């Protein structure tokens, strides 16, 4: 059985990946349990992972080079590092740029140095559709490498993390794969992301905050489709950049209507000023994901929202004390 490292193991995608793969790999999960959003949901995810076979947890800040050096033995006999750890969110990145630089750029560089030192076969670096900005009617092409003028601090820190890792690992035999995720949602999701916030607010009869008129569209992608894409990367040895996103887009207003229907409740909508650097639409090209990985999403938005709502109802008691708003949104 292969030994792998999964960073961001208590994050949304990391948690779901480990739950799906703990019988396939011996997994060392790394997470700093930072305060990028309410820590209680990270602790909830960790509690659900503790019973998984072949899973070991390390509480570690990857941006802290000295702390990482003290734990460097975890890289021995590891075949793949799946780097999902990051600080996400465009709006927040303008309020706390230093944390984004540390968690997205410095941490990725520190990890790449250990991948090089221990001659690890594969380094999978999760990235984001935010790098592309607003695509309009065009598709975000997967083969775009070092993108000029990233549209936000968040996008810049993720893009530069990619660039640093590639340069650090140049002239090595390490396979570098970069999946770029498009607006992921689903069970155990982030409380700062739109769909889970909307489900919570509508379910609890709170005001639903929309920045702008709600017509902005996103390629909402259900988490199980993202996990299937990551599984494809583990079985392929092609370096490259791969978009993992839905080939359909939906507006925030359309998503709210679907949640209203599922909960049989009406949303109390409050429109606020459009958020800084918010985009109208991002369309993923899936050309390489389809042709090389034979991957495309299969979960409809209706089924994905239904599964998210059912999960929320199941965990409603555990979620009642979790913050679904940033302090500045009060």
Q: Provide the residue-wise pLDDT of the chain in tens; the chain has 330 residues.
A: 899 999 999 999 999 999 999 999 999 999 999 988 899 999 999 999 998 989 999 999 999 999 999 999 999 999 999 999 999 988 888 889 999 999 999 999 999 999 999 999 999 999 998 888 766 656 677 766 556 678 889 999 999 999 999 999 999 999 999 999 999 999 999 999 999 999 999 999 999 999 999 999 999 999 999 999 999 999 999 899 999 999 899 999 999 999 999 999 999 999 988 777 677 788 899 999 999 999 999 999 999 999 999 999 999 999 988 988 776 666
Pick the catalytic residue from 132, 154, 185, 312.
154
**How do residues 103-128 score in pLDDT, each as one tens digit?**
999 999 999 999 999 999 999 999 99
Q: Count the alpha carbons within 13 Å of 9 in the hemisphere toward its beta carbon.
A: 29
Residue 215 CA to chain centroid, in angstroms?
23
Q: Catalytic annotation on 37?
A: no
- Provide the phi-psi class of 3: left if phi over 0, else alpha when psi is between -120 and 50, else beta: beta
Q: What's residue 94's pLDDT?
A: 87
Tokens of 71: 């734990």
Percent of the chain exceeding pLDDT 90 equals 78
Q: What's residue 239's pLDDT?
A: 94
Q: What's residue 137's pLDDT?
A: 54
Whole-number Å distance between alpha carbons of 131 and 112: 20
Residue 67 CA to chain centroid, in angstroms?
24
CATH number, domain 3-185+221-246+283-299, options 3.90.1520.10, 3.40.980.10, 3.40.50.720, 3.40.50.300: 3.40.50.720
Sign of CA dihedral 41, 85, 298, 134: positive
Task: Return the number of other C-beta atoms located less than 10 Å from residue 98's C-beta.
Answer: 8
Domain boundaries, the chain: 3-185+221-246+283-299
Q: What's residue 320's pLDDT?
A: 86
pTM of the predicted protein model: 0.95
């Amino acid at each position: 059985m292969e030994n792998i490292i999964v960073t961001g193991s208590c994050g949304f995608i990391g948690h779901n990946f480990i739950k799906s793969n703990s019988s396939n790999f011996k997994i060392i999960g790394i997470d700093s349990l930072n305060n990028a959003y309410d820590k209680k949901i990270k602790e909830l995810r960790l509690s659900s992972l503790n019973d998984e076979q072949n899973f070991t947890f390390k509480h570690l800040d990857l941006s802290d080079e000295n702390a990482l050096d003290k734990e460097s033995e975890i890289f021995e006999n590891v075949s793949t590092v799946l780097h999902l750890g990051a600080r996400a969110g465009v709006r927040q990145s303008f309020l706390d740029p230093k944390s984004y630089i540390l968690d997205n750029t410095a941490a990725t560089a520190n990890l790449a140095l250990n991948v090089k030192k221990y001659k690890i076969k594969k380094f999978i670096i999760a990235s984001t559709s935010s790098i592309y900005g607003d695509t309009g009617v065009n598709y975000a092409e997967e083969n775009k490498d070092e993108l000029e003028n990233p549209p936000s601090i968040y996008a810049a820190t993720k893009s530069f993390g990619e660039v640093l890792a590639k340069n650090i690992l140049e002239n090595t035999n390490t396979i570098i794969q970069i999946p770029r995720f498009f607006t992921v949602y689903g069970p155990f999701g982030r409380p700062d992301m739109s769909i889970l916030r909307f489900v919570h607010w509508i379910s609890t009869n709170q005001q639903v905050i929309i920045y702008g008129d709600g017509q902005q569209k996103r390629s909402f992608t259900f988490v199980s489709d993202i996990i299937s894409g990551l599984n494809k990367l583990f079985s392929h040895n092609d370096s490259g950049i791969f978009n993992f996103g839905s080939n359909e887009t939906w507006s925030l207003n359309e998503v709210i209507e679907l949640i209203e229907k599922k909960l049989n409740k009406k949303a109390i909508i409050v429109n606020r000023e459009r958020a800084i650097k918010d985009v109208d639409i991002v369309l993923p090209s899936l050309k390489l994901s389809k042709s090389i990985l034979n991957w495309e999403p299969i979960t409809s938005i209706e089924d994905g929202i239904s599964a998210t709502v059912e999960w929320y109802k199941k965990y409603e008691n555990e979620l009642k004390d979790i913050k679904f708003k940033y302090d500045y949104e009060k």
